Structure 1
Amino acid sequence: MLKKRRKQNKRRSLIVRENPRSPVSEQFRTIRTNIQYASVDQDMQAIMTTSSGPEEGKTTVNANLAETIAQQNEKVLLIDADMRKPTMQYMFYLANHTGITNVMTGQRDLQDVIETTGNEALDVVTCGPIPPNPSELLGSQKMKDIIQEARTLYDYIVIDTPPVLAVTDAQIVAGMSDGVLLVVASGETEKEEARKATDLLKQTNAKMLGAVLNRQERKNSNYMYYYGD
């Protein structure tokens, strides 16, 4: 069991922190720059990331993106709002005993569940106990209040949500966010699925920042453009 846990943690490593000069890390910096350009005419403080389906690498993309933004000395809060299958705790070797679900249910204040990471500019809020009613919690006024409070404390908020085609959670959070990124896995995500996911997200009137093509292999290289789960 211990060996399996270590393997999982290694597989979900923060490549932008461990190998900042790699081509993969450079691509994350490109995503960061594109987001900053997108904020010229509109505030892009709260960024939500989702995927069309499971196992497309959205959590790894989210964590590396948040770390990349924080490397510019921007204060970043990374929130795991995937209350169906939370995995952000594995990215940062954190416990998941308390988290955002405890804040939503009034058991904790936001600042009580904020976890520090190896980067002083990056903080994380894990999911916490998995609730029986994720969609209702995410659509509550309390979730809006949490995001609003985070806006007063951080320069950027990066929110990880479940796949958009599986449940309505991502659509709910998209309506509270300034911009949305859709992660698609090269050679795995069907075009129709990506198109349907985009259409569903657009219905929330959220600004689509674009798609992150994950796991695309580079020719004559052992690296990938984007790191995957």
Structure 2
Amino acid sequence: MFKKKKKPLQSAARKLITVDNSKSIISEQFRTIRTNIHFSTADKELRSILLTSSSPSEGKSTSASNIAVVFAQEGRKVLLIDADMRKPTMHHTFQLNNGTGLSSVLTRQAEVADVIHEVGIENLHVMPCGPIPPNPAELIGSQAMKALIEQLKLDFDLLIFDAPPLLSVADAQILSNECDGTILVVNTGSTEKDSAVKAKETLQSANARILGVLMNNYTLAKDHYYYQYYGTAE
């Protein structure tokens, strides 16, 4: 049995547009992302997705959370995993205790079932990061991590990983090789083109399967909406 969240979902509703306003244009964009992911993997069942960015503060964690929500709304049993052992945020978004989590399981300080939480959204479960370890990259690249991914696939239809930025540390590059697909989040208002290109090349060097690029903070000239655009990484 997974841990059930006792408090109603509040902070998540402020950050997760797909929960707070499922009929908004932004929520529709996330559903479009979901559809495009399906089309991009028509020849193979997608069981694990990693979201990362070139630099911090590009919106990857919020994007990962919203994508997890729309897949859960589709009826798939989803586990959102905070694999950012440098600056974890999922426990804030979903009001969870971060005393134990992914790092605890990888260091054999906790059992898997004890760090997976129901968060008040049907079909969606969350595994927080847990205590920040001194050796995140080593834990991400360990045999324990590979075994955990295979174990979790037995209980969930889809695993979604929120990973650290690519150009800062090696964690996302390592984990991308273990996932079925990777989405690169780019902030159109701040990300430099060279950084985005370098991030893509970093993923390619890891033999990651790049599903596409999620353009964040894009504004429609007429209606001034903030929304997301998903496209292939050519």
**TM-score with structure 2 length normalisation?**
0.90
Partner of 1:17: 19
Partner of 2:122: 120
**Alpha-carbon shift at residue 133 of structure 1 (Å):** 0.3
Q: Flag the 1:148–1:210 CA change in 2: closer, same or farther, 3 A.
A: same
Partner of 1:103: 105
- Sequence identity of aligned pairs in percent? 48
Is 1:221 aligned to 2:230, yes or no?
Answer: no
8 Å CA contact 2:14–2:20 kept in 1: the answer is no
- Gaps of at least 5 residues in structure 2 are 1-10, 230-234
Distance 2:158 2:49 in 1: 8
Q: Which amino acid aligns with 1:51?
A: S
Q: Which amino acid aligns with 1:48?
A: L
Q: Structure 2 residue aligned with 1:198, among 193, 200, 221?
A: 200
8 Å CA contact 2:12–2:94 kept in 1: the answer is no
Is 1:181 aligned to 2:189, yes or no?
Answer: no
Partner of 1:6: none
| Other structure's SS at 2:79 match | strand
Structure 1 stretches of 4+ moved >6 Å: none
**Alpha-carbon shift at residue 114 of structure 1 (Å):** 0.2
**Alpha-carbon shift at residue 10 of structure 1 (Å):** 7.2
| Other structure's SS at 2:154 match | helix
8 Å CA contact 1:216–1:224 kept in 2: the answer is yes
**Alpha-carbon shift at residue 223 of structure 1 (Å):** 2.5
Q: Structure 1 residue aligned with 2:161, among 126, 138, 159?
A: 159
Distance 1:16 1:184 in 2: 20
| Other structure's SS at 2:137 match | helix
- Gaps of at least 5 residues in structure 1 are 1-8
**TM-score with structure 1 length normalisation?**
0.92
Distance 1:10 1:49 in 2: 18
Is 1:207 aligned to 2:209, yes or no?
Answer: yes
**Alpha-carbon shift at residue 222 of structure 1 (Å):** 4.3
**Alpha-carbon shift at residue 226 of structure 1 (Å):** 3.1
Distance 2:136 2:166 in 1: 14
Distance 1:28 1:163 in 2: 21
Partner of 1:84: 86
Partner of 1:130: 132
**Alpha-carbon shift at residue 220 of structure 1 (Å):** 2.6
Is 1:145 aligned to 2:184, yes or no?
Answer: no
| Other structure's SS at 1:44 match | coil
Q: Flag the 1:153–1:24 CA change in 2: closer, same or farther, 3 A.
A: same
| Other structure's SS at 1:119 match | coil
**Alpha-carbon shift at residue 112 of structure 1 (Å):** 1.3
Distance 1:99 1:86 in 2: 11
Distance 2:171 2:205 in 1: 13
Distance 1:152 1:16 in 2: 27
8 Å CA contact 1:12–1:60 kept in 2: the answer is no
Q: Structure 2 residue aligned with 1:44, among 43, 46, 54?
A: 46
